[in-house]
Amino acid sequence: MNNFPPVTKNLLIINALCFLGMIAARRYGIDLADYLGLHFFLASDFNLAQLVTYMFMHANFEHVFFNMFALWMFGRTLENVWGSKRFLIFYMVCGIGAGLVQELVQYIEYATVLSSYQTVNIGSMVIPMSEYLNEMTTVGASGAIYGILMGFGMLFPNAELFIIPIPFPIKAKYFVIIYVILELVLGAMNVDNIAHFAHLGGMIFGFLLIRHWKKQGQHGQYPF
């Protein structure tokens, strides 16, 4: 049981239940991701609670599976080291931080490109800008998960990981560096519909929080 601590276990359960609930709700014509996903803050459907609720919505089975697999792999280790309370705070800060970074990136896109348009051509139709802004929705625990990856790399930099399809073990610190570079490149290229800068946001907030805790420890002060 020590290898499966309570916060990690409960996060796995809650995310799984939310995904099943989302599938069930769609049968009744209800899109929970539309209500609980993180909308752009200038959109009419945005509300502040979405900075938390978006972490428990996922686009599809692969999305939730790989996020939860990474949570199981790395999250339980961090929770065993830090304790449940600190780990939960870390998870939430990384997830909310990722959402804030995503909002900033969307605002930059809006201010530099979209604000001059009244309508947007989405391929199949032309829709008003106000409607398009509500389509800018982010879902998933990926930001929090990437924060956990950063945390694991900082706490166990020389731990060797076997990552498919890499045919040899790679140290955690190099694994994290590779992911930072990959997310920067993919985010800059904007070649898919994945919130790469949100991933980076989770890593940045995770890095800053760990540095903050370390600084407090060096001065004999502990936050919890």
Distance CA 91, CA 15 (A): 13
- What's the predicted TM-score (pTM) here? 0.91
Q: Running along the chain, 224 residues long, what does each successive block of 10 average in pLDDT?
A: 83 97 95 95 95 96 95 95 96 98 94 84 84 92 96 94 81 92 89 89 97 77 42
Fold of 6-213: Rhomboid-like fold (1.20.1540)
User: So what's the pLDDT on residue 219?
Assistant: 47
Tokens at residue 209, please?
Answer: 């929080």
Query: In three state form, how does the secondary structure of the chain look?
Result: CCCCCHHHHHHHHHHHHHHHHHHHHHCCCCCHHHHHCEECCCCCCCCCCHHHHHHHCCCCHHHHHHHHHHHHHHHHHHHHHHCHHHHHHHHHHHHHHHHHHHHHHHHHHHHHCHHHCCEEECCCCEEEHHHHHHHCEECCCHHHHHHHHHHHHHHCCCCEECCCCCCCCEEHHHHHHHHHHHHHHHHHHCCCCCCHHHHHHHHHHHHHHHHHHHHHHHCCCCCC
Instruction: Report the alpha-carbon distance of residue 84 to residue 96 in Å, rounded.
Output: 18
Choose among 125, 120, 96: nearest CA to 43.
120
Domain definitions of the chain by residue range: 6-213
| pLDDT of 218 | 53
Say how far apart CA 153 and CA 192 lie, in whole Å: 27
The two structure tokens encoding residue 12? 């796995």
pLDDT of 3 reads 65
Compute φ and ψ for 72, nearest 5 degrees: -65, -40
62 CB-contact burial (10 Å; exposed 0-12 / middle 13-18 / buried 19+): exposed
From the list 66, 62, 26, 34, the residue with the least C-alpha distance to 50 is 34
